[in-house]
Amino acid sequence: MDKDLWSYILKGVTSGPDMRAPSVQDGYIPPAAGMAYARLVGYFEIGKHEEANATGDMVLRDKVDLVFELSGPNHQPRKFDDGTLAPRRVTVQETLSLDYRANFFKLFTIMNDAHGGAHRHMVLLLGKPFIVEVFHRRSKDGKKVYAGLKGLDGYNVRGTTVQDAVTGKQSVIVVEPPLTELNAFVWELANRDMWDSIHIPGFYEERKDENGEVIAPARSKNVLQERVIRAKNWPELAASLGVSPTS
């Protein structure tokens, strides 16, 4: 290829769209697929929710959200004009089950083993560093791309100690401290302070395309509290916290 043409192409692609980050209609850009450094920054027990099992019957299952903050060369935080940084995060949503076949138990086991195996509860792994693999999946209509940590073969999560294949020497990869404040909501331990700590005020404004059509309606930022409130066992917890079941 002509040298000048190649130079022109290189200059153009560095300022053009990043093909590692799929664009979607609602403006959401998922974190890049592939390996990343990560820290667990959030552990939130959401309560009992009704969902269909493998046979189509509706059953109650305890649900939990795990929030990982990503870092590394391909997962740098976004920087806004005022200098603030917005880290890339991925939320893992699972059924909170300690059955040895359950995804949550398998994930906890590999995360715990990565840090010595001495932690008796997932919340004790908050702030711990990991190396994870980010997977992309498409929505059923194929129009949206979402990022997660679970692929077809489960979770690829491991510790930050790596071994040189030639020398056999071990070294520890340094993972940047999290920008996200660590937080948790543990159902059996929940008190009013813990409840207030997961409240996020405000709304995301609706977004429209160039034709004025709404592509993303306005929605509340208070996602965690609203999910907890929809739990079937929320009224009992609300009473113990001294808050209204509908608040």
Beta strands per DSSP E along 53-168 = 58-71, 78-79, 85-86, 88-95, 129-138, 145-148, 150-151, 154-155, 157-158, 161-163
Decide if 116 is inside a domain.
Answer: yes
Res. 18: pLDDT tops 60? no
Res. 2: pLDDT tops 80? no
Compute the average pLDDT of residues 146-164: 92
Could you tell me how far CA 147 lies from the centroid of its own chain? 8
Q: What is the residue range of 173's domain?
A: 22-190
- Predicted TM-score (pTM) of this structure: 0.83
When pLDDT is cut at 50, 70 and 90, the band that residue 24 belongs to is very low
Structure tokens at 187: 């159902």
Decide if 121 is inside a domain.
Answer: yes
* 3-state SS, residue 154: strand
Q: How many CA atoms lie within 13 A of 219 on its CB side?
A: 11
Compute the average pLDDT of residues 162-173: 87
Structure tokens at 74: 């391909």
Res. 20: pLDDT tops 80? no
Number of domains comprising the chain: 1
Mean pLDDT of the chain, nearest integer? 87
Compute the average pLDDT of residues 219-239: 94
Q: Is 43 exposed, middle or buried (0-12, 13-18, 19+ CB in 10 A)?
A: buried
pLDDT at 37: 97
pLDDT at 162: 87
Residue 79 bridge partners (DSSP): 85
Structure tokens at 50: 């009704």
pLDDT at 187: 94
Decide if 125 is inside a domain.
Answer: yes
Decide if 210 is inside a domain.
Answer: no
Decide if 184 is inside a domain.
Answer: yes
Q: Count the neighbouring beta carbons within 10 Å of the beta carbon of residue 78.
A: 10
Res. 22: pLDDT tops 50? no
Decide if 28 is inside a domain.
Answer: yes
Decide if 202 is inside a domain.
Answer: no
- How do residues 114-138 score in pLDDT, each as one tens digit? 999 999 999 999 999 999 999 999 8
Q: Which of 27, 21, 78, 24 is nearest to 205 (CA)?
A: 27
pLDDT at 21: 46
Decide if 172 is inside a domain.
Answer: yes
